């Protein structure tokens, strides 16, 4: 691991002030820290977001579920509010990694990292979520750009993610036995604007399958996909 400075601010404003330039934001650390240990990544400054309580929350308001960036996978998985509103999202969170990963990893860190085999990006895309940063809001269709690449600019951090409540949704993945990442994962949702299908693990980044979405518009059944 290369040498770095460590900062743990107590507010979003303080984090953003420190996090300009080449600094990296540290969420759950389940990906970044491992890469740094292997010297596959480096940063002169790590800005630990773990000391910002405002980034940990789950709010259900009408037809939306908003989740703070530093909310752990385990918290989402066992949230009665998420289970009631979007059960597929809670089930997805409960299948990420192992108990240690679920208790440390965060939704904001997963989405910002944009690992091509991560589970959360498929939910963000299929559920047509909105990513709120310290600067703006970004639609799911505009967020994931490529291999570990998103629309986030230097110094910009994810604050929360808002998911619309949908009529039906489900997520299934073929797990890598050791890491439990998705060798391929598919999230299907039937929302206010019709069906959306997102696939993870099968390309450089998560993507939608418009042919499946078109077929599901006529009949939201497995037979339509076949």
Comparing CA positions, the residue from 112, 30, 32 lying closest to residue 69 is 112
pLDDT of residue 69: 97
Q: What is the pTM of this model?
A: 0.93
The answer to whether residues 74 and 93 touch, using CB atoms and an 8 Å cutoff, is yes
Per residue in 148-197, pLDDT tens?
Answer: 999 999 889 999 999 999 999 999 999 888 877 889 999 999 998 999 99
Across the chain, mean pLDDT equals: 93
Per residue in 4-58, pLDDT tens?
Answer: 899 999 999 999 988 777 888 989 887 888 788 888 777 888 899 999 999 999 9
**Alpha-helix runs per DSSP H in 6-115:** 12-18, 32-37, 73-78, 80-85, 87-94, 99-104, 107-113
CB burial string 5-41: b at 16+ within 10 A, e below: eebebeebeebbebbeeebebbbbbbbbeeebeeeeb
Least confident of 18-22, 97-101, 199-203: 18-22
Q: How far apart are the first and last CA of the chain?
A: 48
Residue 220's Cβ-side half-sphere holds a number of Cα atoms within 13 Å equal to 13
DSSP percent split of the chain into helix, strand, coil, nearest 5? 35, 30, 35
3-state secondary structure of 75: helix
pLDDT of residue 135: 94
Rounded to the nearest 5°, which phi and psi values hold at 116?
-65, -20
Set out the domains of the chain in order of their start, with CATH numbers: 53-225 (3.30.465.10)
Mean pLDDT computed over 92-117: 94
The answer to whether residues 107 and 76 touch, using CB atoms and an 8 Å cutoff, is yes
Instruction: Give the integer Cα–Cα distance in Å for 118 and 51.
Output: 25
Q: What is the share, in percent, of the chain residues with pLDDT greater than 90?
A: 77
| Residue 43 CB-density burial (10 A; 0-12 exposed, 13-18 middle, 19+ buried) | middle
Residue 184, number of CB atoms within 10 A of its CB: 14
pLDDT of residue 160: 98
Instruction: Give the integer Cα–Cα distance in Å for 212 and 220.
Output: 10
């Amino acid at each position: 691991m290369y040498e770095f400075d460590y900062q743990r601010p107590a507010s979003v404003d303080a984090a953003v002030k420190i996090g300009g330039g080449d600094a990296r934001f540290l969420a759950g650390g389940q990906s970044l820290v491992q890469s740094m240990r292997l010297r596959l990544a480096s940063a002169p400054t790590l800005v630990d977001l773990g000391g910002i309580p405002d980034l940990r929350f789950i709010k259900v308001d009408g037809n939306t579920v908003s989740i703070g960036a530093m909310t752990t996978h385990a918290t989402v998985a066992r949230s009665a509010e998420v289970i009631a509103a979007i059960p597929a999202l809670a089930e997805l969170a409960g299948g990420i990694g192992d108990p240690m990963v679920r208790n440390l990893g965060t939704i904001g860190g997963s989405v910002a990292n944009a690992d091509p085999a991560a589970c959360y990006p498929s939910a963000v895309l299929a559920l047509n979520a909105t990513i709120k940063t310290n600067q703006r809001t970004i639609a799911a269709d505009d967020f994931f750009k490529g291999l570990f690449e998103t629309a986030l600019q230097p110094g910009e951090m994810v604050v929360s993610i808002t998911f619309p409540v949908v009529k039906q949704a489900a997520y299934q993945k073929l797990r890598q036995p050791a890491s439990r990442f998705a060798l391929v994962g598919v999230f299907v949702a039937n929302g206010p604007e019709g069906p959306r299908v997102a696939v993870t693990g099968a390309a450089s980044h998560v993507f939608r399958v418009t042919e499946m979405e078109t077929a599901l518009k006529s009949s939201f059944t497995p037979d339509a996909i076949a």
